[in-house]
């Protein structure tokens, strides 16, 4: 049975002193103990270094979330109004989907009102895909929360908006303490 080297000696018993960086798969291995490793990010990747502890090996991050906060606003009538918009880079959410959580204090003078988190659309226009919604009929401010369904994570910076309206033309809807958390 052939012997395997368990030390830094070759099979003849001589110390190995001229071990260079490996150049291809299967070469003898040494570690890179000087280069600072790349920070954890996204889904991770194995790297392409042949070193035993490759500096370009990236561990996956443990998860990411984006949070947007906004002050309140009052809207009147049934025409949907733009409350808030922000241009958001979704790169920190590395997964293929994101889950929105929409929280706010809400009230309406008469009837019901609706507020929506929308993704995409045109700047300064109350449009885009609805990814979360809150409704109330309370005349006093009440806390509301909605955990939306998972939606595809945009591959490029995209508008995130809050829009809202009352369901009656003679009503006024109010929203404050707006928070949107999107996690992947």
* pLDDT computed for residue 5 by the predictor: 44
| Domain boundary assignment for the chain | 1-62, 65-183
Highest-scoring range by mean pLDDT, 4-8, 64-68, 159-163: 159-163
- Percent with pLDDT over 90 in the chain: 54
pTM of the model: 0.67
- Mean of pLDDT values over 38-43: 52
* pLDDT computed for residue 150 by the predictor: 93
Nearest to 163 by CA among 118, 124, 121, 120: 118
Average pLDDT, the chain: 82
Using CB atoms within 10 Å of the CB of residue 20, give its burial: 0 to 12 exposed, 13 to 18 middle, 19+ buried. Answer: exposed
Q: Is pLDDT at 56 greater than 80 in this prediction?
A: no
Q: Which long-range contacts (CB under 8 A, 24 or more apart) does 30-35 make?
A: none
Q: According to the CATH classification, is domain 65-183 in 2.60.120.1340? A: yes
Give the tens place of pLDDT for each residue, 139-154. 999 999 999 999 999 9
Taking only Cα atoms into account, the Rg of the chain, rounded to an integer number of angstroms, comes to 28
What is the rounded distance in angstroms from the CA atom of residue 164 to the CA atom of residue 72?
A: 11
């Amino acid at each position: 049975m052939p012997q395997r080297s368990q030390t830094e000696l070759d099979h003849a018993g001589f110390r190995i002193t001229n071990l260079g960086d490996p150049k291809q798969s299967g070469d003898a291995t040494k570690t890179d103990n000087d280069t600072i490793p790349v920070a954890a990010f996204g889904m991770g990747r194995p790297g392409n270094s042949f070193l035993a502890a490759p500096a370009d090996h990236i561990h996956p991050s443990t998860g990411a979330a984006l949070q947007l906060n906004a002050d309140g606003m009052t809207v009147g009538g049934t025409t949907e109004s733009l409350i808030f918009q922000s241009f958001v880079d979704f790169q920190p959410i590395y997964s293929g989907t994101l889950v929105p959580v929409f929280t706010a204090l809400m009230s309406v003078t008469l009837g019901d009102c609706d507020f929506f988190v929308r993704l995409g659309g045109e700047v300064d226009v109350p449009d885009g895909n609805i990814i979360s919604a809150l409704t109330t009929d309370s005349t006093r401010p009440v806390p509301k929360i909605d955990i939306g369904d998972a939606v595809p994570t945009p591959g490029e910076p995209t508008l995130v908006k809050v829009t809202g309206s009352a369901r009656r033309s003679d009503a006024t809807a109010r929203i404050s303490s707006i928070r949107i958390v999107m996690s992947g």
